[in-house]
Structures are given as structure tokens and as C-alpha cells.
Amino acid sequence: MEDLVLGLLTGAVFGLASLPVARMPKPRLFWGSAWVDPTGVSWVVGFLLFGPVSALTGSAVGTLGIWKTSPEPTPALGAALKFLGTTCLWLTVATVVTVFWDGRYPPQQLNSFQMAVGLTLLGGLVRAAVMIPLGYFYSIPYYRSHQEKRRVTRTEAVAEFGGVARYVIVLTLFNVWLSLFDLLVPWIALYPTGLAQALTM
């Protein structure tokens, strides 16, 4: 029960901490995604320190806050995509921690930079597997239609990438990059500095 309460409380704090970051202007690519978005970093900090309950709570609180306060043209879409993408990442790592390690947080096995990178790449591929079809069938045509004030078809949206094959390659690399940013930034702040141990003793 104490772990659940701790996860909920810390998650709420990390979720609220992400809201000012979410409102910062971000450089965007032509299909609407920000190529650098630190909004989910605090959610992953919660995950690395206190586990999945903290991460899920932080992601949910942050997502709701982004939806209600973001100045972006499609705040609900942006919030949902950030939630799904970040959740794919930390849920992949949580599965490894639960199945192969001891399920404790912060995971001591992540002291290794190589292990952190390897799990981040795995999480990035899982993220890409979810986000690529979602982008093709819904989010990118929706965003483009909203921006251009006309109905943009899937074919038109993918044509901007140079076809379906290039779309898949670009979105795979993009989601791996976002995952590296989302997990390695908090990893660098927590593990090499010793904060992961100090904050959970």
C-alpha cells in the first residue's frame, strides 16, 4: 500500500512538473511532431525512481494538463501522442525489469550506460511499431487537415515523406531518437550523479 501511495503522489508531482515544459515553444517538423520535446522527461524520472505507478500517474496528469492548457493548435492530439509514445518506452523497460530483473526501482542494472541505451533502443522500436500505423491512419492526416483547413488524405500525407517506405524509415528513426532523448536525459541526471540512489534511500 505504501508503494502505491508513493507512486501516486510522486507521479502527480512529476506530472504537474511537466506542464510548464509542455508550454515551451518547440521546433516542429512538417507533420506536426516536435523533434525535441522534453515534456515527458519528468514522467520517465518518476518511472526510473519509483516505478510504473509513478510513471503512469505522471503521464496521465501531464497528458490531461497538456490537453487543457497547451497553446498548440491540436492539444488533445499532441497530448495523446505524447502519452502513448512515452508509455511505450517506459512500459517496455518496466517489462524487462519485471521479467528478467528483480522488479525494484531504481533498477540497479541500469547503472550500465550500454544497458540503458540497449533498453532505450528496444523501447524506441516498440514505440515506432505503435506510432507508425497511428500516424499513417489518423494523426498525420488529421494534423495536416487542421493546418491546411482542408481534408488531407493518407496518400497526400505520406507523399510528403517520399512514399510509404520512406515514411516507415523516417518515423522509425524519429521514434528511436525521441526515446533516446526521453530516457537518456533523465538517466544522465540520475545514475552517473548518484541521485537515483540518494533520492530513494
- Distance of alpha carbon 27 from alpha carbon 184, whole angstroms: 20
The pLDDT value given to residue 136? 93
The pLDDT value given to residue 84? 96
The pLDDT value given to residue 53? 95
Residue 195: half-sphere exposure toward Cβ, Cα within 13 Å: 12
Q: Annotate 112-165 with DSSP letters as a single string.
A: SHHHHHHHHHHHHHHHHHHHHHHIIIIIHHHHHHHHHTSPPPHHHHHHTTTSHH
User: CATH class for domain 2-198?
Assistant: mainly alpha
Amino acid at 118: G
Question: SS3 of 29, please?
Answer: coil
The pLDDT value given to residue 200? 65
The pLDDT value given to residue 201? 61
Q: Are 182 and 93 in contact (CB under 8 A)?
A: no
The pLDDT value given to residue 130? 97
The pLDDT value given to residue 2? 65
Query: Low-confidence residues of the chain, pLDDT below 70?
Result: 1-2, 199-201
The pLDDT value given to residue 96? 95
pLDDT tens sequence across 130-177: 999 999 999 999 988 888 889 988 999 899 899 999 999 999 999 999
The pLDDT value given to residue 181? 94
The pLDDT value given to residue 1? 65
